Amino acid sequence: MELEKTLSQAIDYLCDGNQHKANLLMEQCHTELIDLKQNHKMSSEHWLLWGTLLELQEEWEQAILKYESALNTDPDLAEAWIKICKILFYQLEKPELAHKLLKEKLHPLLGEKHSDLFELTQDLNSVLKQRTKRQPAQSTSTLSDSEEQENL
């Protein structure tokens, strides 16, 4: 797929520190993807590429929308679920939602021990465990704060 090669080359330029050439190639990819969409020729792979392009531009919410479009084409597309979980966790700092998707969508598709999920699962479990430890113990009192003040 020519579009995939162009995006890969843009990524290479980004890694090499050549932002200008990377931007030109990413703009070319964006234009091609818009053309495909307007001509109703989008596949799940195209939506994934568009999501990746948006991730490179740090447009996290828009990337998620493109991955969701890929899932509308193929609901069992594990790669899209993985990318959504990673954005939710690593970029948007929403570990609870990422963990829920991991358990409800990815584990049934790939299995809990799948290598693509190992690091993400460990990172999520670690953060969620830390959050649980930091939450203060909730009062067992059935009185509201105002009722407690009145009793004092």
pLDDT at position 148, please?
Answer: 44
Q: Sketch out the chain's domains with CATH numbers.
A: 1-74 (1.25.40), 76-133 (no CATH)
Q: What is the mean pLDDT of residues 128-151?
A: 58
* Alpha-carbon span 3 to 13, nearest angstrom: 15
**pLDDT: is 136 or 15 the higher one?**
15
pLDDT per residue as tens digits for the range 45-94? 999 999 999 999 999 999 999 999 999 999 999 999 999 999 999 999 99
* Alpha-carbon span 143 to 51, nearest angstrom: 50
pLDDT at position 116, please?
Answer: 82
pTM score of the predicted model: 0.82
Average model confidence (pLDDT) across the chain: 89
